[in-house]
Amino acid sequence: MTPPELIAALQAHPDDADRLMRAACAELRAQAATPVPPDAAALRAGLARIAQDAWSSGLDAVLQRLLDDAPRSRATDGLAALLRPPELAWDEAQEIDWAVRHWETCRAEGRLDEDLAADFGEYWRGLEWSALRQHLALLATLGEGHAEERRLLAHIAKTSSRYVAFGPLKRAMEARFPEFFQLGFSLR
């Protein structure tokens, strides 16, 4: 089941989300896809959409972190696309549950490198950074006011708030989209 097929199934059958997601994760593990290197131009364009006219050297540092330091692996990139699609949002506890189950199986099957296999926290960080790369690249392709734009921005705000490395991105988001940082905000 491809991510678009999964999203359509999840939208049609929300009460069956757990079974559908577990099946999609099993299918993801069965694939032998190699990770695609991040597209620097797409990431820069996504960051520019957020920064508008206020690009700073801090955003250059964020771009470099996403290109150089963010782990790229089939184990995090594929699951990030399943857990954080622009069309849907899950409670974080549900995302973590699916991610832990996927991580445990990948680890048991020897599909993870040593760092990711040793610590779920590292795996989760890698997954969030993979999702951030995907969201920024997709944001670069969407027109202003696109239906998925708000959810992508919400995902970006959430991740940029969580990691010190993304402080400049968080500040750019706060300046342009302060509503994402108000108390009580939800992705739903």
What is the pLDDT averaged over residues 105-134?
A: 92
Q: What pLDDT is stored for residue 116 in this prediction?
A: 86
The count of structural domains within the chain is 1
Residue 187 belongs to a domain: no
- Please tell me the distance from the alpha carbon of residue 110 to that of residue 112, in angstroms, as a whole number: 6
In the chain, the N- to C-terminal Cα span, in Å, equals: 24
Confidence of residue 111 (pLDDT cuts 50, 70, 90): confident
- Please tell me the distance from the alpha carbon of residue 92 to that of residue 101, in angstroms, as a whole number: 14
List the domain range (segments joined by +) for residue 109: 3-181
Residue 145 structure tokens: 């006011």
Q: What percent of the chain has pLDDT over 90?
A: 59
Residue 121 structure tokens: 């926290």
What SS3 class is residue 112?
A: coil
Give Cα separations from 101 to 20, 117, 123, 145 (angstroms). 14, 13, 12, 35
Residue 45 belongs to a domain: yes
Q: In the predicted model, what is the mean pLDDT of the chain?
A: 88
Convert the pLDDT of each residue in 20-71 to its tens digit: 999 999 998 888 667 678 889 999 999 999 998 777 889 999 999 998 885 5
Residue 188 belongs to a domain: no
Q: What pLDDT is stored for residue 170 in this prediction?
A: 95
